[in-house]
Structure 1
Amino acid sequence: MSVTSAATLRRIGFIGTGIMGGHMARRIAGAGFSVRAWNRTAAKSEALAADGVEVAPSARAAAAGADAVVCMLSSGPVCDAVLGGPEGVIAAMRTGATLVVMSSIPVETARAQAEASARRGLRYVDAPVSGGERGAREGTLSIMAGGEARAVADLAPLFAPLGRVTHVGPAGSGELAKLANQLIVASNICAVAEALLLAERGGADPEKVREALIGGFADSTVLRQHGERMVRGDFAPGGPAKYQVKDTSTALRLARSYGLTLPVAHTVDRLFQNLVDHGGADLDHSAVLLELRRANQPAEASAPAETSADV
């Protein structure tokens, strides 16, 4: 079995070229790799042809002969549907190649995929990312990698144009780290939204309040990037709310299996679920500000008037 190493990593299959995946595939091709990409909506992968990315007619075709296959699909079930089965990506990959799942999926799903990959003579790394569309576009993603240390090290040339990688443990650990990341991000987004709503309701200029907080203890990437989205009212999806609630719900299920109660995460999850339920599924997760505004609207109905019997 010829195992792909850092020195022999040349041909990359890329599955899923959506909001973030498209930027990632483009950056990998720009770093000199031969990239074949597939996306369920063909137009999204076809748009990358001008950047040197070859468009594959199927996920299997993208994976065939590749030294590594990157999966950047939307969820665990979608990943399993594309990767698994006799006609899936895992079955199409050459022995010794590496499957790199950079999607945010449940920990147990990653571990099961790692086992399925091992049975086929493949190496498996779960490497979800944080940094949103901007991080994908600029190559500043934080990459949390789970799997064998050697396999992660051999992927260093692939990760380099995408961002900074940290090996956090065995298969599934990358997804566990991503869930921890998502709890922090989601909680921070909600805290920033509440703070700006308070400033707005109290008569201060939310943009100036945000500006005043930058550099202090309240400063964060969320305050800088998502706080700016909130004050501008720009909720075009970088990280859609439906994916945020997917991750917070997954984290809460996992916490319950460990016997943990996470009260802050529970409240945050409910806020994002309410945003989705009120039509915000495809808005950026910073649109939780809209849900807070909706929940805090004054009651339109006035109190019942007194009658003569009450006097």
Structure 2
Amino acid sequence: MQSPYPEPITPSKTRIGWIGIGIMGSAMASRLLDAGYSLTLYARNPSKALPLKSKGAHLANSPHDIAHCSDVVFTIIGGPPDVRSIVLGPDGILSGLSSGGVTVDMTSSHPSLAREISKAARAKHCWAVDAPVSGADVGAREGKLAIMAGGDAGVVEWLSPLFQIMGKCTYMGGAGCGQSCKIANQIVGSANLVGLSEAFTFAERAGLDLKTLFDGIRSGAAGNMIMELFGERMMERDFRPGGFVEYLVKDLGMGMDVAEDTEDERVTALPGASLCKQLFSAMIANGDGKLGLQGLITVIERLNGIDKRQLSFK
């Protein structure tokens, strides 16, 4: 596969644009700055960019402007409507990206939109990669994210020096495959969070000490990364977000959309994912949409007549 540029990516030559400086994006962008790369940011609220500007990042006035001065532009924003506007809009990334440029969307977005963006990019002699991530705020800070990439294999390989700074990249296939992988990831992760919430609620009612329970099961078959990321936070009633529950509901909803697409012969029944979506949606209905994912235990507790809301924040 031919890479988009004849020279490899290096801090001294490769210009990077970054859009999205929330909990995840700011940590990921900071790692690129620490690695010596030149970074230009676009932020709807410029004041949010001050910590990264203090580390040497520059600020652009629009997605078009950031693309015009970048070889690679990363996005990690809210969801499909935001991605469509930022990438495909009249003042979007593709309006300013030069021939051979690359746009990399790390948002959890819809596979069909990723394919649409890829087609639009190729029409402009540019490249698009969909590369959503998993690993929460801890993984973003420590450079241990799981990165699921879809698009041209040669372009993904060319981007590997940047991906390695943020985590481990797995190439999944053509355009949209990274997003499909992220939906599958969210199905697994949400089911694990439901199981962990139910286990803690059951164990507490049975009179067990939760920390002893946690130590007893984490090294066995039930142990998993979700437990390591969220178990202690859940026990300590620390519901500060490493990722917002409303985004997980969005991701599971996209899975439902794909599963229910009657024009796709590969229709899939997802009863577990549907149940998880209902339970996490209950968090939002309870006014807890801005809590971290570990806040799901409050829903399970309420179903059991337990209300510890006064302890839900740290």
For normalisation by structure 1, the TM-score amounts to 0.92
Q: CA deviation at 1:41?
A: 2.2
Match among 289, 301, 305 for residue 293 of structure 1: 301
Further displaced range: 201-210 or 227-236: 201-210
The answer to whether residue 68 in structure 2 is matched with residue 64 in structure 1 is yes
Q: Match for 2:245 among 234, 241, 256?
A: 241
Separation of aligned partners in 1, 2:148 and 2:300:
31
> Does the residue aligned with 2:66 lie in a helix, a strand or coil?
helix
- C-alpha distance after superposition, 1:170-201 (max 9, x if no partner): 00000000001000000001100000010111
Q: Which residue of 1 aligns with 2:225?
A: 221
Contact 2:4/2:101, CA 8 A, preserved across alignment: yes
Specify the alignment match of 2:115 in structure 1: 111
Q: Say which of 137, 143, 149 aligns to 2:147.
A: 143
Equivalent residue for 1:275?
283
Structure-2 residue corresponding to 1:100: 104
> Alpha-carbon deviation of 1:8?
4.7
SS at match of 2:146: strand
Instruction: State the Cα deviation string for residues 156-178 of structure 1 (Å, max 9, x = none).
Output: 11111101111110000000000
Hey, what does 1:251 align to over in structure 2? Answer: 255
Find the residue that maps to 2:122 and give its secondary structure: helix
One-letter identity of the residue aligned with 1:227 = G
Letter in 1 for 2:225: T
Q: Secondary structure of 2:260's partner?
A: helix
Quote the residue 2:311 is aligned against: none
Q: 2:87 aligned with 1:83, yes or no?
A: yes
Tell me, yes or no, if structure 1 residue 260 matches structure 2 residue 264. no
Superposition map of 1:37-76 within 5 A: 37-76=41-80
Does the 8 A contact of 1:34 with 1:53 survive in 2? yes
Q: Percent identity?
A: 35
Which of 171, 174, 178 aligns to 2:178? It is 174
One-letter amino acid of the structure 2 residue matched with residue 150 of structure 1? G
| Aligned positions of 1:200-215 closer than 5 A | 200-215=204-219
Q: Is the 8 A contact 2:80 2:110 kept in 1?
A: yes
Q: Indicate conservation of the 8 Å contact 1:91/1:120, yes or no.
A: no
- Structure 2: gaps spanning 5 or more residues: 308-314
User: 2: CA distance between counterparts of 1:6 and 1:246?
Assistant: 38
Task: Tell me the distance in 2 between the aligned counterparts of 1:27 and 1:167.
Answer: 22
Q: Given residue 221 of structure 2, which amino acid in structure 1 is its aligned partner? A: F
Give 1:84 shift: 1.3
Q: Secondary structure at the match of 2:267?
A: coil
Q: Find out whether 1:184 has 2:185 as its counterpart.
A: no
Whole-angstrom distance in 1 between the partners of 2:97 and 2:162: 18
Amino acid at match of 1:128: P
Counterpart pick for 1:163 among 167, 174, 178: 167
Structure 1 unmatched ranges of 5 or more: 300-311
Whether 1:125 and 2:129 are equivalent positions in the alignment is yes
